[in-house]
Structure 1
Amino acid sequence: MTHLSPMTLGPAPEYRRLVEEMPIMLWTADAAGRWTHVNGRWTEYTGLIGEAQGFGFEAALHPDDVAPTLEVWTAAIHSGQPYDIEYRLRDTHGQHRWFVVRGRKVSAPGADDVTWVGSCTDIDAQKQAEVAALNAQRAAVRALGLALEVRDGDTGGHTDRVVGQALALGRALGLGAADLEALELGATLHDVGKIGIPDQVLRKPAALDLDERMLIQAHPAQGARFAAALGLLPPAALGVIRHHHERWDGQGYPDELAWDQIPLLARIFAVVDVYDALVSVRPYKAAWTPEQAQAEIERQAGTQFDPQVVRVFLALTSG
């Protein structure tokens, strides 16, 4: 471990002592991003004085936070722009807490090795509260989704299945955390608009007449409006609810969107929703075999479904 040189920021020893004793972590770095100083709070929390590597946080960062943190830091060095990053730091007991680091580029007379100054502030309580609120949101949305499933006459776990399949497909397509979260919420409430459809239409074992089809085709737009009123879902999740019955060829509903006009999350969910419907027993049909359903999904690539999404889906389900 390399001991970092003391910070020479102003001539007054009293100023240096105050920096050392600040209750938050403070640091400085040179123009290349190499640390030149950390104060006592950093050493007290992490047990580290510094690292020979350029950035210095790597040894204490949570492994999942290393890549995104370094990406932001590297961009800041090149641009000179201020930045804030949230990440987890390991303490001397091996436990991780959430911090926000704020870095600013400065010009410090008499301190040629100081180009960046920054602080690390503990925000773990705030992050834990956010996680608890998010978990409560997920639980509420899932409870509503399961209630709708029963209302639809399906107690076979359709909601949990399509959510799990959609997330697996989303990960295989390289979605980030925010998109996966929106996909999960939208998939859970994708049929919330059916709440206003009469039972005799929703569970009808025969073909629907024109008026009944219009009722069914109204449910995505109605569902998006209802879900928006809940105030729980991000716009991308509402897009899943509204557009999961659109078709790649523009012949779907409610907005007759085509190709990449259809939000990607809705294109992803459309495939898994139809697949699960095909392999499930419904009032108007028997269950198809997985092989039959996969063949139908493949046949509809380029007409009903995004071909790229279908390719990845089939690789997951038939691999």
Structure 2
Amino acid sequence: MLKKISVKQLTVGMYLKEFCGSWMEHPFWRNSFVISDPKDIERILASSIQEVWIDSAQGLDVSPHEPAISEAETEAQVNAELDAAARAARDVAPVSMQKEMVRAAKICAQAKQAVTSMFKEARMGKAVDAGNARKLVEEISDSVTRNPGALISLARLKTADDYTYMHSVAVCALMIALGRQLRLDEALIRRLGIAGLLHDLGKAMMPLEVLNKPGKLTDEEFRIMKSHPEEGCKLLRESQGVDEITFDVVLHHHEKTDGSGYPKGLKDGEISLYAKMGAVCDVYDAITSNRPYKAGWDPAESLRKMAEWANGHFDPTVFQAFVKSLGIYPIGSLVRLGSGRLGIVVDQSPKSLLTPRIKVFFSTRSLARILPELIDLSAPGCTEKIASREDPANWNFPDLDELWSAHIGA
């Protein structure tokens, strides 16, 4: 029997089915588990969660002297109530980059913990419950709705050590933004977000010395790494709540339209729209992120390089939509203005892909740093224009990420 109870009624041995509240409000990445440690109850009591659903058929029941708040006969009834409450509580109104950065940072931190735990459990042979990723994907989706640049840009600022986990979060967010650009159904977009979050799950089965190698892989090591799509599918076959889209993206996100990808060597018409989306999102985050063996490329330069590969690697329509979802000059891109000043892109403009907001900080005429200044290229009367993208490697600025991420949108 499914029962809603107060968190004060929780005891060790109960099967916690669902939390009544936002995924961000409780300290666990899972929604369903048997409470085996009194410290877990302490953590719940210390959170803002007030009520939970338990399943008395899978764990201890409440005391007869402390009746449940309500009961439900089916899981569908519980999900319907939780979904209705979530819709009522959702905040998806557009906000500034500065405001969303604060929330996005918290989501990134929680998401990293969730994905790290997911990979750890997979390595231990435990089945991955994809249903537990649903609320995390909803939080990421809502952040992308409020301001698409914030979480996507923050997720790019990953360290080499947490690359594997934050890469999953970034691809999830990129898939959601791309799905919206392609005008897909919102329910389908959520499913694509879950697929993006789980696309690299097979890396949990890769030898850590290969996965984390701070240098170029040998042919044999690369052969091992190329098995991660199929290993991911094996893990998901033993899991609950996995749909066909997730299997498709997990297995085929390294396929290329010219047939040179893996594991099946599929060609253009043989690859689904969803796997094509996964391929673009996966490559973009990989090449813009710092890795143990190389620094990430500038976002705008990365899009330029991807455009050169597009005919053989990516579906042109999907790639064009991807560029529109990020902007021709994504946040974090280094650009030169017509005045000769260099600046970093800090936000996009809803008016045009060519007129983002820029924080200028360097004069190429005097070859000196200048007082940082925010310029909205879309503002009426603004005479500045982007003359070119710049390769950060040619300038050796040590603080580019800090320039766009600190006090952004101020």
- TM-score where L is the length of structure 1: 0.54
Query: Which of 192, 201, 214 is residue 201 of structure 2 equivalent to?
Result: 192
Query: Which of 282, 293, 298 is residue 284 of structure 1 equivalent to?
Result: 293
Cα-to-partner distance string for 1:163-195 (whole Å, 9 max, x where unaligned): 111111011112223421321111111111011
Going from structure 1 to structure 2, the CA distance change for 1:148 and 1:300 (only over 3 Å counts) comes to: farther
Q: Does 1:129 align with 2:79?
A: yes
Instruction: Name the structure 2 match of 1:232.
Output: 241
Q: Determine what percentage of the aligned residue pairs are the same residue.
A: 32
Partner amino acid, structure 1, of 2:172: V
Cα-to-partner distance string for 1:267-287 (whole Å, 9 max, x where unaligned): 112111111111110012111
Partner amino acid, structure 1, of 2:188: D
Q: Does 1:145 align with 2:115?
A: yes
Describe the SS at the equivalent of 1:246: coil
Going from structure 1 to structure 2, the CA distance change for 1:141 and 1:224 (only over 3 Å counts) comes to: farther
Contact 1:167/1:180 (CA < 8 Å) preserved in 2? Answer: yes
Partner amino acid, structure 1, of 2:249: V
Q: Give 1:198 deviation, angstroms.
A: 1.1
Instruction: Name the structure 1 match of 2:278.
Output: 269
Query: Which of 208, 213, 233 is residue 204 of structure 1 equivalent to?
Result: 213
Q: Give 1:261 deviation, angstroms.
A: 1.1
> How far apart in 2 are the matches of 1:147 and 1:296?
34
Instruction: Name the structure 2 match of 1:75.
Output: none
Contact 1:141/1:188 (CA < 8 Å) preserved in 2? Answer: no
Contact 1:141/1:185 (CA < 8 Å) preserved in 2? Answer: no
Going from structure 1 to structure 2, the CA distance change for 1:257 and 1:143 (only over 3 Å counts) comes to: farther
Unaligned stretches of 5+ in structure 1?
1-124
Describe the SS at the equivalent of 2:236: helix
> How far apart in 2 are the matches of 1:234 and 1:142?
23
Describe the SS at the equivalent of 1:211: helix
Going from structure 1 to structure 2, the CA distance change for 1:142 and 1:287 (only over 3 Å counts) comes to: closer
Number of residue pairs aligned between Structure 1 and Structure 2: 192
Map of 1:1-319 to 2, 5 A cutoff?
Answer: 126=76, 128-130=78-80, 132=82, 145-147=115-117, 153-154=161-162, 157-317=166-326, 318=328, 319=353
Partner amino acid, structure 2, of 1:129: N
Describe the SS at the equivalent of 1:300: helix
Partner amino acid, structure 2, of 1:153: D
> How far apart in 2 are the matches of 1:130 and 1:225?
31
RMSD between aligned residues: 3.0
Partner amino acid, structure 1, of 2:195: G
- TM-score where L is the length of structure 2: 0.43
Q: Give 1:126 deviation, angstroms.
A: 4.2
Contact 1:149/1:158 (CA < 8 Å) preserved in 2? Answer: no
Going from structure 1 to structure 2, the CA distance change for 1:133 and 1:200 (only over 3 Å counts) comes to: farther
Unaligned stretches of 5+ in structure 2?
1-74, 87-109, 124-159, 329-352, 354-410
